[in-house]
């Protein structure tokens, strides 16, 4: 390292505290703000390390980031001081001495996540890498009163933090909801169903200051997005994920998230992927909750499956549904789980859904040519059988040029939580946001970060 290097001045301002343990509660990095160029390169270096859980070598970092050895060393030093990178032993030798390796340290801090579904909600305490440490779920969702759901979420989030005093503090909260969100400032906008003139069941949430309430009451920066976008983000950040993919969420309702070039695509009015209310059957079709008739969701959704399961259940044709408490009625989750157990009625309902979905996906995949179609939401409980059924039906409908590099797979049961966590860590470890909190050593309590209005900047 040369002390004549002007760029070095930036690094000297960040105090050289060396963490004694990977799990740190406080950080002593302080002093004046580092230059934006330094933070920008540091953010790139951390992002690169996050792509390789086994660790990266200095030589790899120099090559990928097109930085000199000294520059990489200085950024590595800062990242280690912040607790975000840790030594990962030695890598594989390519002739000489085996190189030293560094890896991202997911235990440097914790992240909170809050996922609202249709009839349930979940909060989780996670590490920076998206591993779930603890969680609480309860039976209340977007069909319930927004204030009540938010009050309970805050209560449970505080309980989660209280249950793990030994862990480092939470750096932020990621929240998601199965309704459209203007991502610029995280406001809940009217669903497409409302614009179509229908009595939308989620309308009570429109304009509700969910993000502001969570941020103020927990004193944390909060990022909020539509559930399906967050799920698509989780799929996009999986190791080995293709840069272009479609995420179909099949729960009580139907939704789609689009990832293009590794980024979530939102569209001009945050309405991209609103496939549920495409009119398929014309005016003669079934009435939809949006107030029109014949929408795709009336024949392809968990709600449609619940309707279709009423008769077989009443006629006791399904061994699985027969075991359910009849007063409770059939829920789409029952149909998904019944299919996983091989119940013939549930399997038939999902095979029909797979065929209907393949019609829509044939158009979308031929147009967009994604590398992956991920099927998630409640239907993830149906297991691999559903992705095989969709894959087979889809391959019959499209040319090999579209299908030969297309993988159809099931999403994870926790894609909402891991996507919400990822949304927060990506933002907090971006150059613009790091530049604000770095002089303080961590984002904890930095009001400029906690109260930030624009989520996309």
Which CB sits closer to Zn ion, 167 or 194?
194
Q: What is the smallest separation between the CB atom of 207 and Zn ion, expressed in angstroms?
A: 22
Q: How far is it, in rounded angstroms, from Cα 155 to Cα 208?
A: 18
Q: Residue 444, interface with Zn ion (CB under 5 A)? A: no
Q: What is the smallest separation between the CB atom of 290 and Zn ion, expressed in angstroms?
A: 3
Which CB sits closer to Zn ion, 237 or 277?
277
Tokens at residue 11, please?
Answer: 């690094």
Q: What is the smallest separation between the CB atom of 248 and Zn ion, expressed in angstroms?
A: 17
Q: What is the smallest separation between the CB atom of 347 and Zn ion, expressed in angstroms?
A: 27
Measured from the Cβ of residue 317, the count of other Cβ atoms closer than 10 Å reads: 15
Which CB sits closer to Zn ion, 256 or 288?
288
Which CB sits closer to Zn ion, 133 or 281?
281
Query: What are 136's strand-pairing partners?
Result: 123
Which CB sits closer to Zn ion, 295 or 420?
295
Q: What is the smallest separation between the CB atom of 107 and Zn ion, expressed in angstroms?
A: 45
Among 43, 117, 290, 421, binds Zn ion (CB under 5 A): 290
Ramachandran area for residue 26 (φ above 0: left; ψ -120 to 50: alpha; else beta):
beta
Q: Which of residues 292-351 bind Zn ion (CB under 5 A)?
A: 295
**Cα–Cα distances in Å, from 116 out to 11, 56, 112, 248?**
42, 37, 14, 17
Ramachandran area for residue 292 (φ above 0: left; ψ -120 to 50: alpha; else beta):
beta
Q: What is the smallest separation between the CB atom of 59 and Zn ion, expressed in angstroms?
A: 55
Query: Which candidate, 131, 369, 394, 103, places its Cα nearest to that of 242?
Result: 369
Kindly report each contact of residues 447-455 with a partner whose C-beta sits within 8 Å and lies 24 or more positions away, as own/partner. Answer: 449/221, 450/215, 450/219, 450/220, 450/221, 451/215, 451/221, 452/221, 453/185, 454/184, 454/185, 455/183, 455/184, 455/185, 455/186, 455/223, 455/224, 455/427
Which CB sits closer to Zn ion, 177 or 295?
295
Q: Which of residues 81-140 bind Zn ion (CB under 5 A)?
A: none
Which CB sits closer to Zn ion, 84 or 276?
276
Stretch that binds Zn ion, among 141-149, 204-212, 286-294, 374-382 (CB under 5 A): 286-294
| 3-class DSSP state of 310 | helix
* Residues contacting Zn ion: total by CB under 5 A: 4
Which CB sits closer to Zn ion, 80 or 281?
281
Query: What are 256's strand-pairing partners?
Result: 248
Stretch that binds Zn ion, among 125-133, 287-295, 332-340, 348-356 (CB under 5 A): 287-295
Q: Which of residues 264-283 bind Zn ion (CB under 5 A)?
A: 277
Instruction: Find where tokens 């209280």 sit.
Output: 162
CA 266 to chain centre: 14
Query: What are 372's strand-pairing partners?
Result: 245, 407
Stretch that binds Zn ion, among 113-121, 208-216, 232-240, 288-296 (CB under 5 A): 288-296
Q: What is the smallest separation between the CB atom of 202 and Zn ion, expressed in angstroms?
A: 13
Q: Residue 427, interface with Zn ion (CB under 5 A)? A: no
Q: Name every residue whose Cβ is closer than 8 Å to that of residue 96 and which is 6 or more positions away in sequence.
A: none
Q: What is the smallest separation between the CB atom of 287 and Zn ion, expressed in angstroms?
A: 9
Q: What is the smallest separation between the CB atom of 17 and Zn ion, expressed in angstroms?
A: 57
Q: Name every residue whose Cβ is closer than 8 Å to that of residue 416 and which is 6 or more positions away in sequence.
A: 113, 115, 117, 122, 176, 227, 230, 231, 234
Q: Residue 288, interface with Zn ion (CB under 5 A)? A: yes
Q: What is the smallest separation between the CB atom of 206 and Zn ion, expressed in angstroms?
A: 17
**Cα–Cα distances in Å, from 322 out to 270, 301, 343, 350, 382?**
42, 22, 11, 18, 18
Interaction site with Zn ion (CB under 5 A): 277, 288, 290, 295
């Amino acid at each position: 390292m040369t002390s004549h290097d002007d760029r070095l001045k930036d690094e000297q301002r960040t105090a050289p505290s060396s963490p004694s343990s990977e799990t740190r509660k406080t950080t002593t990095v302080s002093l004046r703000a580092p230059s934006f160029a330094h933070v920008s390169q540091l953010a790139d270096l951390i992002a690169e390390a996050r792509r390789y859980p086994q660790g990266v070598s200095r030589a790899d970092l120099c090559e990928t980031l097109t930085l000199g050895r000294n520059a990489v060393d200085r950024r590595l030093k800062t990242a280690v001081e912040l607790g975000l990178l840790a030594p990962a032993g030695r890598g594989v030798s390519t002739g000489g001495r085996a190189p030293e390796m560094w890896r991202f340290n997911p235990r440097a801090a914790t992240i909170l996540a809050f996922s609202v579904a249709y009839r349930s909600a979940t909060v989780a305490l996670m590490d920076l890498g998206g591993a779930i440490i603890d969680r609480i779920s309860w039976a209340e969702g977007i069909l319930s009163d927004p204030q009540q759901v938010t009050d309970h979420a805050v209560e449970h989030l505080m309980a989660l933090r209280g249950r793990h005093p030994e862990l480092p503090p939470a750096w932020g909260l990621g929240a998601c909801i199965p309704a459209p969100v203007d991502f610029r400032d995280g406001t809940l906008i009217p669903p497409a169903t409302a614009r179509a003139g229908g009595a939308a069941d989620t309308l009570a949430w429109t304009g509700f200051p969910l993000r502001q309430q969570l941020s103020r009451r927990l004193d944390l920066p909060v990022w909020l997005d539509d559930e399906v976008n967050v799920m698509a983000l989780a799929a996009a950040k999986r190791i080995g994920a293709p840069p272009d993919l479609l995420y179909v969420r099949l729960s009580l309702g139907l939704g789609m998230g689009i990832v293009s070039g590794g980024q979530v695509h939102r569209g001009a009015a945050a309405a991209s992927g609103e496939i549920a209310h495409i009119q398929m059957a014309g005016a003669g079709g079934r009435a939809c909750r949006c107030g029109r008739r014949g929408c795709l969701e009336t024949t392809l959704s968990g709600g449609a499956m619940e309707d279709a399961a009423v008769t077989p259940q009443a006629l006791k044709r399904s061994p699985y549904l027969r075991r359910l408490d009849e007063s409770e009625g059939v829920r789409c989750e029952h149909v998904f789980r019944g299919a996983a157990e091989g119940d013939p009625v549930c399997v038939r309902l999902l095979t029909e859904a797979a065929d209907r979905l393949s019609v829509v996906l044939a158009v979308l995949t031929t147009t967009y040519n994604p590398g992956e179609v991920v099927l998630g939401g409640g239907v993830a409980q149906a297991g691999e059988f559903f992705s095989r059924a969709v894959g087979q039906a889809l391959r019959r409908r499209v040319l090999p040029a579209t299908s030969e590099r297309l993988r159809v797979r099931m999403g994870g049961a926790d894609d909402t939580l891991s996507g919400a966590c990822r949304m927060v860590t990506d933002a907090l470890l971006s150059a613009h946001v790091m530049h604000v909190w770095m002089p303080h050593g961590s984002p904890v309590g930095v009001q400029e970060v906690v109260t930030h209005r624009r989520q996309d900047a």
